[in-house]
Amino acid sequence: MREVSCKATAVLLDTVEALGLSAADVLEGLELDEAHLHDPRMGLEWREFARIAQAIHALSSADDAFMERVGEQIILTPRHNFAMEIAGHLFSCRQLYRAALWSFSPQLFPVARTRARDRSDGGLEVSLWIDDDLAPCAPFFRLCGGVLRALPRLLGLPHARLDMEVTSHGGRYDIRVPRQRSWLRRARQAARVLTSAPRLGEVLAREAQATHDNYQSLIRAHDDFYRMLRGFGEGVVVHRGGVVLWTNDAFLSATGPTSLVRGARLDSVLPPLAPLEGTTFPCTVEHRRADESTVLLELTEQAKVPFDGEPAEVLTVRDVTEASQLRTQLAQADRMASLGTLAAGVAHELNNPLTYALMNLEVLQAELATDDDDPSQRRRGEVIGAVLEGMTRVRTLAEDLRTFSRTDRPEEENTAARVGDVLDSSIRMVRGRLGPESRISREGSCAGMSVVGSDARLGQVLLNLLTNAADATAAREGGGEIRVVCRRRAEHAVIEIHDSGPGMSPEVLARAFDPFFTTKPAARGTGLGLAISRQIARALGGSLDARSTPGEGSCFTLTLPLAPTPSAEADPSPRPTFSRAGRILLVEDEEKLRTTLATALRRHHTVETARSGHEALERLRSDPRFDAIVCDLMMDDGTGMTVYAGLGSDPLRDRLIMMTGGAYTAEAREFLEVTDCVCLHKPFELDELRSALDAIIASGPAVA
Please report the DSSP string for 152-193 in residue order. Answer: GGGGTPPPPEEEEEEETTEEEEEEEPPPPPPHHHHHHHHHHH
Q: Is residue 577 part of a domain?
A: no
Q: Bridge-partner residues for 307, per DSSP?
A: 310
Calculate the average pLDDT of the chain: 80
Q: Is residue 682 part of a domain?
A: yes
Domain holding 617: CATH number? 3.40.50.2300
Residue 411 in this model has a pLDDT that exceeds 50: no
Q: Is residue 349 part of a domain?
A: no
Domain holding 53: CATH number? 3.90.1520.10
Backbone angles phi, psi at 605, to 5 degrees: -130, 165
Distance CA 631, CA 611 (A): 10
Q: Is residue 685 part of a domain?
A: yes
Residues 163 and 41 in one domain: yes
Q: Is residue 82 part of a domain?
A: yes
Predicted confidence at residue 69, as pLDDT, reads: 95
User: If you ran DSSP here, which 8-state letter would residue 562 be given?
Assistant: B
Q: Contact, 593 vs 352, CB < 8 A?
A: yes
Q: In the chain, helix, strand, coil percent, each to 5?
A: 50, 20, 30
Q: Contact, 358 vs 388, CB < 8 A?
A: yes
Q: Is residue 293 part of a domain?
A: yes
- Which of 622 and 579 is assigned the larger pLDDT? 622
Residue 637 in this model has a pLDDT that exceeds 50: yes
Q: Is residue 104 part of a domain?
A: yes
Domain holding 553: CATH number? 3.30.565.10
Pick from 547, 431, 565: nearest CA to 488 = 565
Number of domains in the chain: 4
Residues 9 and 137 in one domain: yes
Q: Contact, 634 vs 663, CB < 8 A?
A: yes
User: In the chain, what percentage of residues exceed pLDDT 70?
Assistant: 78
Backbone angles phi, psi at 483, to 5 degrees: -115, 130
The model's pTM is 0.43
Q: Contact, 576 vs 599, CB < 8 A?
A: no
Q: Is residue 370 part of a domain?
A: no
Residues 521 and 664 in one domain: no
Query: pLDDT tens digits for 267-316?
Result: 766 665 545 555 566 777 777 776 667 778 888 766 777 777 788 888 88
Residues 21 and 93 in one domain: yes
Average pLDDT over residues 541-567: 89
Residue count of the chain, please give it.
704
- Which of 680 and 355 is assigned the larger pLDDT? 680
Distance CA 594, CA 610 (A): 9
Residues 116 and 241 in one domain: no
Distance CA 242, CA 12 (A): 44
Residues 17 and 134 in one domain: yes
Residues 593 and 457 in one domain: no
For residue 291, give Cα distances in angstroms to 247, 418, 504: 20, 44, 20
Predicted confidence at residue 704, as pLDDT, reads: 44
Residues 311 and 168 in one domain: no
Query: Under DSSP, is residue 588 helix (H, G, I), strand (E, B) or coil?
Result: coil
Q: Using CB atoms within 10 Å of the CB of residue 642, give its burial: 0 to 12 exposed, 13 to 18 middle, 19+ buried.
A: middle
pLDDT tier, 543 (very low <50, low <70, confident <90, very high otherwise): very high
Please give the helix or strand (H or E) that residue 270 lies within, else none.
none
Check residue 95 and give left, alpha or beta (phi > 0: left; psi -120 to 50: alpha): alpha
Query: Under DSSP, is residue 120 helix (H, G, I), strand (E, B) or coil?
Result: coil
Distance CA 405, CA 336 (A): 9
Taking only Cα atoms into account, the Rg of the chain, rounded to an integer number of angstroms, comes to: 45
Query: pLDDT tens digits for 168-182?
Result: 999 999 999 888 665
Residues 128 and 243 in one domain: no
Q: Which residues span the domain enclosing 587?
A: 583-698
Residues 188 and 243 in one domain: no
Residues 613 and 526 in one domain: no
Query: pLDDT tens digits for 447-487?
Result: 888 998 888 788 889 988 998 898 888 867 777 899 999 99
Predicted confidence at residue 408, as pLDDT, reads: 47
Pick from 703, 679, 686, 677: nearest CA to 580 = 703
Residue 670 in this model has a pLDDT that exceeds 50: yes
User: If you ran DSSP here, which 8-state letter would residue 122 be given?
Assistant: S
For residue 428, give Cα distances in angstroms to 215, 314, 404, 460, 559: 80, 59, 12, 14, 22
| Listed residues 319, 339, 369: the one ending a domain | 319
For residue 9, give Cα distances in angstroms to 5, 42, 45, 109, 525: 7, 10, 11, 10, 67
Residues 554 and 618 in one domain: no
Residue 61 in this model has a pLDDT that exceeds 70: yes
Query: Under DSSP, is residue 369 helix (H, G, I), strand (E, B) or coil?
Result: coil
Other beta carbons within 10 Å of 356: 22
Predicted confidence at residue 204, as pLDDT, reads: 57
Domain holding 280: CATH number? 3.30.450.20
For residue 465, give Cα distances in angstroms to 53, 404, 469, 619: 73, 14, 6, 52
Lowest pLDDT segment from 241-250, 336-345, 353-362: 336-345
Residue 82 in this model has a pLDDT that exceeds 60: no
